[in-house]
Chains A and B, each alone.
Chain A
Amino acid sequence: MREKEYLFNNANKIDEILVKHGMNRSRIVAIMQDIQNEFGYLPEKNLKYISMKLQTPLSQIYSIATFYRAFSLKPRGKHLVTVCLGTACHVRGGARIVESIQKMFDVKPGEKTKDGLLSLETVNCLGACALGPVVVVDGKYHGHITISRLERIVKGILNENKK
């Protein structure tokens, strides 16, 4: 390995994240998670930057970014609702939950509302089948969810935002 220079002329957020993970390319998923947390999605220019810095092919980074549902290549809304559509959740009405959220807030799965406040996404399994149907709202898991309860939760966070 070449003696790499770890010093940066203008240390920015991405460099901070890279340094935090020791410029280690095997920690690429963790690095991408940090970027996602920082920006709410994975901006193309940042992925190109880490590809160059970690000498990792962009095709591989793009492959990882598209593989995991947790990553988004488009900016997400301020709040995120993820509905599980795994087998267990599906039979317990996961699809109906998606449908009603879609109607209620006028948002398609994988997209965000016009005001940019809410994103709706689906996921194939969260591994919490016993709790099905499961919905994750801003990182918080809600098990055995019903449509009315979910409506209350989502409206609640949206109202909070308006205040």
Chain B
Amino acid sequence: MSIKVFIDNTEYDAEIGQTILEVARKHLIEIPALCWQPQLLPYGACRLCIVEVKGERRPVTSCSYQIVKEIEVLTKTAEILRMRKNLLSLLLSNHPADCMTCEKSGDCLLEKYAYEYGIRKPAFLGERNKVCEKDGKPFIIRDYEKCIMCGKCVRVCEEIAGANAIDFGWRGFGVQIVSGFDGSLKDNGCFFCGNCIEVCPVGALREISAEKKGRTWEFRKINTICPYCGVGCGIQVSVKDNSIVKINALPDGSVNKGWLCVKGKFGFEYVKSPDRLKKPLLKKDKKAGKFMEISWDEALDLIVNRFSEIRKKYGANALAGLASAKCTNEENYLFQKFFRQIIRTNNIDHCARLCHAPSVAALSQTLGSGAMTNSLDEIENCSDCIVLIGSNVSETQPVTSYKIRKAVSRGAKLIVIDPQEIEMAKIAEIYIQPWFGSDVMLLNALAKIILQENLINKEFIEQRVENFEEYQNWMNNFSLLEAEKITGISVEMMKRVAKIYATSKASIIIWAMGITQHITGTDNVFALSNLALLTGQIGRPGAGLAPLRGQNNVQGACDMGALPDFFPGYQKVENPEIREKFKNFWNAACLAEKNGLTVVEIFSSIHQGQIKGLYIMGENPLVSDPDISYVQEAIKKLEFLVVQDIFLTQTAKYADLILPSACSFEKEGTFTNTERMVQKVNRCVEPPQDAKPDWEILKNLAKRFGFDWDYHSIWDITREINKLVPIYAGITPERLLYASLQWPCSDEKHSGTSTLHIGKFPAGKGKLKCVEYRYPYELPDEKYPFILTTGRVLTEYHTRTMTARVDGLDQLSGEPFCLMNENDLKKMKLKHGSKIKVISRRGEIEIKVKKSRSVPEKTVFIPFHYAEAAANILTHHNLDPVAKIPEYKICAVRIEKL
């Protein structure tokens, strides 16, 4: 409900419960405030935002004064101005007056207000509270002499990041910001998200990397999208002399609402790394692995010759390509177009196969679309129950975890289901720890309880769901006691979970690799979709199914048809009408009719001698794919391997030809994030020497093949996508200048879709699927008694091509490690930090062991990032029969002391 507010004698509309400051800022009325941050709870510490409210005896702080009735506010009376000036003067008298050398100058709120209120010198002289600099290595300078005690850093650390690394210490005059026993941030559980720097109004908290690089007015500032995970945070890049100085979060209109994580904030040093590839490289000596620099002309001619040769000799299907979830939509579109139109094969795939292929496969069958059904903001604002299953979100998508944290503080119930006691379990209403690979059993049990206790949504099922009766009959034989035995979760506990999920107003299920990277990956997702369909928890804001995507543009790479069975926009390759449409548009003589091969199938086909030539754009299968020795042997068998990358990756070392490409800070295009939001990427710096954006490389290559790819800029490709992909039809380059849009967006007037499946599923009716429980492929036995599970850590990204070249990140987690339960360590007489050998049926690695409470007993957790102790030497390459995803999450190993 809105009420009238008079601010400085002008009338404004306000909502009940809004604060005076919120209304004022909305209407651009300047009220100074140092401790106020719109995304945080009101605090009222700095007192600078005081205003007069008629009827109140004393001035009130406008940041915390909620409007409940019609009021009259005066913000600039002489008395108020005098008081503010006094307050500022007090702050300044405890502040080193060193603005002339301060890094923050030009961006400092205290400086700004001192200027506005005309304070040349503080009016008070006396003792200052001199606090020395504290340890924030490797990223943060904590120069607390400049601190004004606004408490924003403490609040952001608690409310948003949840790290609680800092707090107020001591009292009175001597108060200061402390970590536990004044230790370093690193030892106090700091995540180094850098959000404390983002909110610090003065120069007390700063980036180490930006020190002495210049001040705000010297930088060129470009808005773009973070190159790391699938959240797609909006960032502002400060550039000086063609190098990135620092990165800040974009507060308004971005997915991240002003927050970042450690990689997004600090992980950009790799862009200027001397290791970047700068010129095309040709392998000179296959045995010694030496390369020589060649020109682009020579490189492209070589590809044309070798690919044509292979195609002539063995047919088009002897060639295959791996696209990249790190490249833009336009580049992935061109990559699949290159293979489909020019090479005439559908052997294109990318790493989505290794992450969310089951989600796409299952959801397109049951609902008709494989993407996340809701927006990230809905999790924060609308969901009342959040089921987090198989997703260590605080490590993999920190910004999403901030949103979940906010939802929980709003009162939403968080249910965490994970064999590892992850960070988010700490704030969960219920945390349950099922046995590895028992997800189908657990989820079926929840469905059974929902049926048994009549928690189903009858109306929803009648209108929007098919095969309910068949499913119900099939469920009759399901035994909850057996589920209890297999999952290790009591029926009582499962009942609590089912009840909260089914009866909450809006429930959302969030999952990631813990669900998909199993040989039952597709079944797991079927079982999740069953839960949503039975209870009708889908198709409303805040209710739905949310597979969190891993890489910045993995959603986009799928959308753009870098898949063996789909043209762009999930249009089936095997459908002759669709083929005809693309054939005509591309002016192609003919297109391959059969589905192509998936990632892991491509490597087994190489083993069988069917595939002879491979083009890899920005992927590193020699670390990321399961059973590495198998992949390595395959790659050696190839007649011709082209790798296009920004660094000489482990895979590139085996290439015959390496093409240097531009990273995402060096090109334009669009990325599609996990919630289907298409966002514009802008060029911030120039690529090193001869490195080129991937789309330019592909365009030039197509021209050499004699095809008329006449794209003058990247936006010509976007316009082609608009014409061919119905879900992207309205997402034109012109609109992207001003706003980000969520697909489906059918035409230029459509404003995008934040919630999918309102009222109707693309598949017509939602389908319930009967899924039988199957055991994982390899279970522990006497010889290999431990379970190995792989995953990611916060400060590393995939195969470390980027993060290993960021010094600070390397300091935090540069060394490979594994986690084991402390009881297992005791039993095996191992110490925290001692080296062990982990052996599976496929290989062995040596690695340091860390003590952990989060990992259950008889389990080893190894992050897959590290090439020097690659977890994927141990994993097996048996696949989910539908989605062809390998089972990264479970294999049997044994541990040997070293």
Of A47, A51, A57, A124, the contact of B172 (CB 8 Å cutoff)? A124
Any chain A CB within 8 A of the CB of B165? yes
Cβ-based interface call for B325 (8 A): no
Mark each residue of chain A from 47 to 74: 1 if its CB lies under 8 Å from any CB of chain B, else 0. Answer: 1100100010111111100110000000
Given A2-B425, A57-B180, A124-B172: A62 and B167 interface contact (C-beta under 8 Å): yes
> Is the Cβ of B170 less than 8 Å from the Cβ of A61?
no
Task: Please pick, from A44, A47, A57, the residue contacting B164 in the complex, using a CB distance under 8 A.
Answer: A57
Q: Are B169 and A62 in contact (CB under 8 A)?
A: yes
Q: Find out whether the CB atom of A66 lies under 8 angstroms from the CB atom of B165.
A: no
Query: Which residues of the other chain, B, contact A63 by a CB distance below 8 angstroms?
Result: 167-169, 178
Q: Using Cβ atoms and an 8 Å threshold, which residues of chain B touch A59?
A: 164-167, 178-180, 188
CB distance from A10 to the nearest CB of B (A): 13
The answer to whether A51 and B171 have CB atoms under 8 Å apart is no
Most chain B CB neighbours (cut-off 10 Å) among A48, A57, A61, A67: A57
Residue from A1, A57, A59, A67 with most neighbouring chain B CB atoms (10 Å): A59
**A25 CA to B594 CA, complexed, in Å:** 62
Interface residues of A, dominant DSSP: helix
**B738 interface contact, C-beta 8 A:** no
Contacts of B182 in A (CB 8 A): 62
- In the assembled complex, the CB of A162 is this many whole angstroms from the nearest CB of chain B, namely 36
Q: Please, which residues of chain B bring their CB within 8 A of the CB of A67?
A: 168-171
Interface check B833, CB cutoff 8 A = no
Q: Would you call B609 an interface residue if the criterion is a C-beta within 8 Å of the partner chain's C-beta atoms?
A: no
Q: Flag whether B181 is at the interface (Cβ < 8 A).
A: yes
- A2 & B431 in contact (Cβ 8 Å cutoff): yes
A57–B167 CB distance below 8 A: yes
B314 to chain A, nearest CB (A): 58
Which residues of A lie under 8 Å from residue B429 when comparing CB positions?
Answer: 1
Q: Tell me how many residues of A have a C-beta within 8 Å of chain B.
A: 17
- Shortest beta-carbon distance from A58 to chain B in Å: 3
* Residue of B with least CB distance to A124: B172
A44 touching B165 in the complex, CB below 8 Å, given contacts A2-B425, A2-B431, A124-B172: no
Indicate if B426 sits at the interface (CB-CB under 8 A). yes
- The answer to whether B167 touches A60, judged by C-beta atoms less than 8 angstroms apart, is yes
CA distance A44 to B159 in the complex (A): 26
The residue in chain B whose Cβ has the minimal distance to the Cβ of A3 is B493
Contact with B along A1-33 (1 / 0, CB 8 A): 110000000000000000000000000000000
CB-defined contacts of A55 to chain B, threshold 8 Å: 426
Q: Is B106 an interface residue (CB 8 A)?
A: no
Residue of A nearest to B187 (CB): A58
Contacting pair A66 B169 (CB below 8 A):
yes
Q: Which residue of B lies closest to A52 (CB)?
A: B853
- How far is it, in angstroms, between the C-alpha of A1 and the C-alpha of B421 when the chains are bound? 12
Which chain A positions have C-beta within 8 A of B96? none
Nearest A-chain residue to B172, judged by Cβ: A124
- When C-beta atoms are compared, the residue in chain A nearest to B182 turns out to be A62
Given the complex, which residues of A lie within 8 Å of B181, measured CB to CB? Answer: 44, 47, 58, 62
State A81–B243 Cα separation when bound (angstroms). Answer: 61
Give the residue name and chain of the B residue nearest to A67 (CB): B171
Near B by CB (< 8 A), chain A positions 37-53 give: 44, 47-48, 51
B180, A51: Cβ atoms closer than 8 Å: yes
Residue among B164, B170, B188 making CB contact with A66, cutoff 8 Å? B170
| Separation of A62 and B429 alpha carbons in the complex (Å) | 27
Q: In the complex, A51→B167 CA distance in Å?
A: 14
* Interface membership of B189, Cβ < 8 A: yes
CB-defined A-B contacts under 8 Å, sample of 19? A55-B426, A57-B163, A57-B164, A57-B165, A57-B188, A58-B179, A59-B165, A59-B167, A59-B179, A59-B180, A61-B180, A62-B167, A62-B180, A62-B181, A66-B178, A67-B168, A67-B169, A67-B170, A67-B171
Q: Residues of B with Cβ closer than 8 Å to A?
A: 163-172, 178-182, 188-189, 421, 425-426, 429-431
User: Which are the 9 A-B pairs with shortest beta-carbon distances?
Assistant: A58-B180, A57-B164, A63-B167, A59-B167, A66-B169, A62-B180, A66-B170, A59-B180, A2-B431
Beyond known contacts A62-B179, A63-B168: 15 more, CB 8 A cutoff:
A44-B181, A47-B180, A47-B181, A57-B163, A57-B164, A58-B179, A59-B164, A60-B164, A62-B178, A62-B181, A66-B169, A66-B170, A66-B171, A66-B178, A124-B172
